[in-house]
Amino acid sequence: MRTIKLEDAVAMIPIGATLMVGGFMGVGTPEPLVDELVRQQKGDLTVIANDTAAPGIGIGKLITARLLRRVIVSHIGLNPDTQQQMLAGELQVDLVPQGTLAERIRAGGFGLGGILTATGIGTIAEEGKQKIAVDGRDYLLEPALRAHFALVHAFIADYLGNLQYALTARNFNPLMAMAADTVIVQAENIVPVGVVAPDHVVTPAPVVDYLIAKG
């Protein structure tokens, strides 16, 4: 793990990259990283996230700035900009059931080829997907998801990169921290090694590549 300046971290991300971005309706989204993506006008991005939040919040800022080519999300209902860009054909929106999305990301980070879930069977979400029977019950095969970069929000990071999350700001963050080639973390608090008890660490330090330095 290396510490890095916010602008240098975002400078590493090429136009057209696939990003996982933590957060649930903006809660637990690393806002400084989102703001810097907008400032550096990193465009043509694919974003994998729970939702597109709302205008002015979290991923909503990327939508409004028209930096996204495609989103893979479970919900866009609270962001009219997303709906409008989607209907105008300017943004590809892949809707995935939330539990399936979480497990597909986890599978990507845990080295599994995909997941077998009954969710979506008998609905339009099953279209184009392989069905696999296990013990007489049908499941959809939903492939694993990975990204070039994960933008992760943590409540506490220690100097080694061990991460702890706060309450509902945890959501997709620890899953994404496992599932990207390069993991960039913005932490509310950076603390010396040993301040976080081993049993309270949620994301182990070795998976973190970069920790955004305090200003």
Q: Please, what sign has the CA dihedral across residues 22, 23, 28, 34? A: positive
| Positions in 114-153 near a copy of itself (CB under 8 A) | 114-118, 132, 134-135, 137, 139, 141, 143-144
DSSP state at residue 124: G
Distances, alpha carbon 77 to alpha carbons 25, 119, 121, 145, 172, in Å: 10, 20, 22, 23, 18
Q: Output the six-digit token pair for 53.
A: 């939040």
Span from 9-17, 40-48, 61-69, 119-127 in contact with another protein (CB under 8 A): 119-127
Residue 134: name its binding partner from a copy of itself, another protein, none (Cβ under 5 to 8 Å by kind).
a copy of itself
Considering CB distances under 5 to 8 angstroms, the limit depending on partner class, which of another protein, a copy of itself, none binds residue 30? none
Structure tokens at 140: 């959809």
β-bridge partners, 164: 156
Stretches 13-21, 39-47, 92-100, 128-136: which one binds another protein (CB under 8 A)? 92-100
Stretch that binds another protein, among 10-18, 34-42, 93-101, 128-136 (CB under 8 A): 93-101
Q: Give the span between the Cα atoms of 15 and 204, in whole angstroms.
A: 29
Query: For a copy of itself, which is the closer residue by CB, 42 or 104?
Result: 104
Sign, CA dihedral 116-122-128-132, equals: positive
Closest to a copy of itself by CB, 136 vs 192, is 136
Q: Is 37 or 144 the residue whose CB approaches a copy of itself more closely?
A: 144
Task: Calculate the alpha carbon distances from 39 to 7, 33, 43, 115 in Å.
Answer: 9, 10, 11, 37
Q: Please check whether residue 107 is in contact with residue 114, taking contact to mean a CB–CB distance below 8 angstroms.
A: yes
- Regarding 188 and contact with a copy of itself (CB under 8 A), the answer is no
For a copy of itself, give the closer residue by CB, 61 or 106. Answer: 106
Single-letter amino acid, residue 208: V
| Shortest Å, Cβ 122 to a copy of itself | 15
Per CB under 8 A, contacts with another protein among 191-210 are 193-194, 198-199, 201-202, 204-207
Of 58-66, 173-181, 186-194, 197-205, which part binds a copy of itself (CB under 8 A)? 197-205
Residue 145 contacts residue 214 (beta carbons within 8 Å): no
Q: How far apart are CA 86 and CA 77, in angstroms?
A: 12
- Exactly one of 25, 150, 190, 212 binds another protein (CB under 8 A); that residue is 25
Contacts with a copy of itself by CB under 8 A lie at: 103, 107, 110-118, 132, 134-135, 137, 139, 141, 143-144, 155, 164-167, 170, 198-200
